[in-house]
Structure formats: C-alpha cells, structure tokens
Amino acid sequence: MNDEKQDNTTHFGFRQVPVEEKAKRVADVFHSVAGKYDLMNDLMSGGIHRLWKRITLERSGVRPGYQVLDIAGGTGDLTRKFSRLVGPQGKVVLADINDSMLKVGRDKLINTGHAGNIEYIQANAEALPFADNTFDIITIAFGLRNVTDKDAALASMRRVLKPGGKLMVLEFSKTDHPALTKLYDFYSFNILPQMGKLIAGDAESYRYLAESIRMHPDQETLKGMMENAGLVNCHYDNLTGGIVALHTGIKP
C-alpha cells in the first residue's frame, strides 16, 4: 500500500487531498502539537516509545566519530542519545520539515547541554539538502507516514548514506493479533483524540495521527519499498505485537 496518488491527490489521514496540500496540512498538525509533543508521547504510549527508541539506538551500531542524520527528529530524543555516542569527533544532524518542532528540539537539547556536535536543519525528507554519501546512519522515527512521497524520501535517504551505511525506519505498523488490533483501534479512535483535546487542546490533530497510522504501508510493503529504493539486507522486527516495526536496510 503506497501513497496511491491518483488524479494528483494523496491521502491525509482517511481523506484525499491535492498532493501539493498535504505537506501544509501535516505542518499545521505539528505546529499545533509541538509544545505538548513530548508529554503526549509519554501519555499516548504509556512511556513505551522510550523502549522502542532505545531498541533503535542499540541496533544502530553507532560508534564514536560517526555522522548521523535523525530525520523528522522532532524534539530530539534520538539525537540526544546519538550525540553522546558519536562523541566530539562525530556529528548528529537533527532534521525536521516543521520549524516549530525543530525549535522545540533545539531549545531542549541546548538547555540540557547537548550542543557541541549537533546541527539543526529544516529539511524535506523527499529532497534532503546533503551531499551524496554523507552519513553512516540515518534514522526516521514516527515520521515516514507523514511524508507525501515515501518512495522519493527513501531514495533521498539512500543517496545521502555512505556505502555500507544503515537506514533505520521506526514507525507504527500493523498487528496480526485480532484482539490487540480491536483494542488498539478503540484506543486510537476514541481515547486518543479526547486525550489530545484535553492535554494539547487539539482533538483533530490526534485523530489525523491515528488515521495516518492506518494508511501507512504494512511491514512487508515497506520492506519492498526499501528494496526498490536500492537498499539491501532489508528486514524488520515487530515491537509490541506489531504496533510498531523497526525496518533496517543497508546501502550497498
């Protein structure tokens, strides 16, 4: 299940919108929720998102001196940990298309003393503003589903990876447990929007987030898209019953 753009439209949640409008609509969502993003992440997942990110870090293989790109890095959870791992000889680029999210992440990282080896770049994943063969590791956590043209984004990520470099996509995915799926759907479409309204003052943005998860490619489809982008040794690991999947691919 790709973006399935027909008649120059694409999906925004469950709705079809003109392709050129999606980026702005997604931007409006994250402008709205940026200030409460970290709090809502903890509440929405019961803190489990921290475990998912820790697994990503552990499997990244990041070493001192590495060049790391954290796409859709938002408020900087992964960037902060990567900054420690790459050390003063390495570099981490926190990239996000949304300037509100980028500012929240930058302020948080600077305030906690993580500044020396981090750069902050506002960038569109579909056309990354970096030279070919720049990064050892690229991560995109809970961001790919918001990209309009996922194939273009994956090709762009492959381009800026060094040969032998690794792309890691951490994203909500599809469960294969009927009872878990039923519970997850009830939570997503009934509890989550109300939580968004109460905490962030925005039910609609969290309704979109729930819908965007359902429209995202399933595990096997995304694996095939990564292979089509020219990555090899592509595989995924289901986390929390497939509610989240961690996809990995290597640039040959």
Rounded Cα–Cα distance for residues 174 and 187 (Å): 15
DSSP state of 139: E
Asked if residue 228 belongs to a known ligand binding site, the reply is: no
* β-strand partners of 94: 70, 120
At 137 the three-state DSSP class reads strand
Asked if residue 38 belongs to a known ligand binding site, the reply is: no
Alpha-helical (H) ranges within the chain are 19-33, 37-45, 48-60, 77-86, 99-111, 150-160, 178-186, 192-199, 203-215, 219-228
CB-based burial label for 73 (10 Å; 0-12, 13-18, 19+) = buried
Asked if residue 117 belongs to a known ligand binding site, the reply is: no
Asked if residue 8 belongs to a known ligand binding site, the reply is: no
Least Cα distance to 139 among 220, 76, 214, 229 occurs for 76
Cα angle 172, 45, 114; round to 5: 90
Annotated binding site for S-adenosyl-L-methionine: 75, 96, 124-125
Annotated binding site: 75, 96, 124-125
